[in-house]
Amino acid sequence: MTTYKTPYQIEKALDDFIVDNWETPETTNVRWPAEDKPALPYIEPHFKPGQVLGLEIGGAAQRPGVLIINIFTRMNVSNKEGWAYAGKLEQLFWHEQIGNIICENGDLMPWTEGPAIDEALQAKKFTTKIPFTVIWEY
């Protein structure tokens, strides 16, 4: 099993998981925050790591966090499009283990909020949150 410890390693593992596993019936782009905005619909992941907690002296550490994925859909379609993509993301990460990254944090499982309107993009915005926990020995 691959062990991820640093924020960079964890973010890259989660990003790679999305790239390798994100499939939709129509093309839905993945936009990384530093890139230009593609045509709608698209998803945009944001990585938010928590602090490292010592689980035992000289033994193991834990880093909780959340992967926030914004889903942008067209204004002129029903909310079903956004909820469908949100459901696919929730299922993709549900109880998933990527190396030592566990895509849940205790009782917290993936969930989605929305829709909101992004006036600047003229798009509907849904937000899926994927809580995760990373545990490693040191």
Spell out the domain ranges in the chain: 7-137
Run of H or E including 91: helix 80-93
* More confident position, 102 or 33: 102
Q: Residue 106 is which amino acid?
A: G
pTM of the model: 0.88
**What is the predicted pLDDT for the residue at 26?**
60
Among the residue ranges 9-13, 55-59, 110-114, the one predicted with the least confidence is: 55-59
Among candidate residues 24, 58, 28, the one with its CA nearest the CA of residue 45: 28
Using CB atoms within 10 Å of the CB of residue 47, give its burial: 0 to 12 exposed, 13 to 18 middle, 19+ buried: middle
How far is the C-alpha of 69 from the C-alpha of 30, rounded, in Å?
10
Considering the domain 7-137 in this protein, what is its CATH number?
Answer: 3.30.2000.10
**What is the predicted pLDDT for the residue at 34?**
67
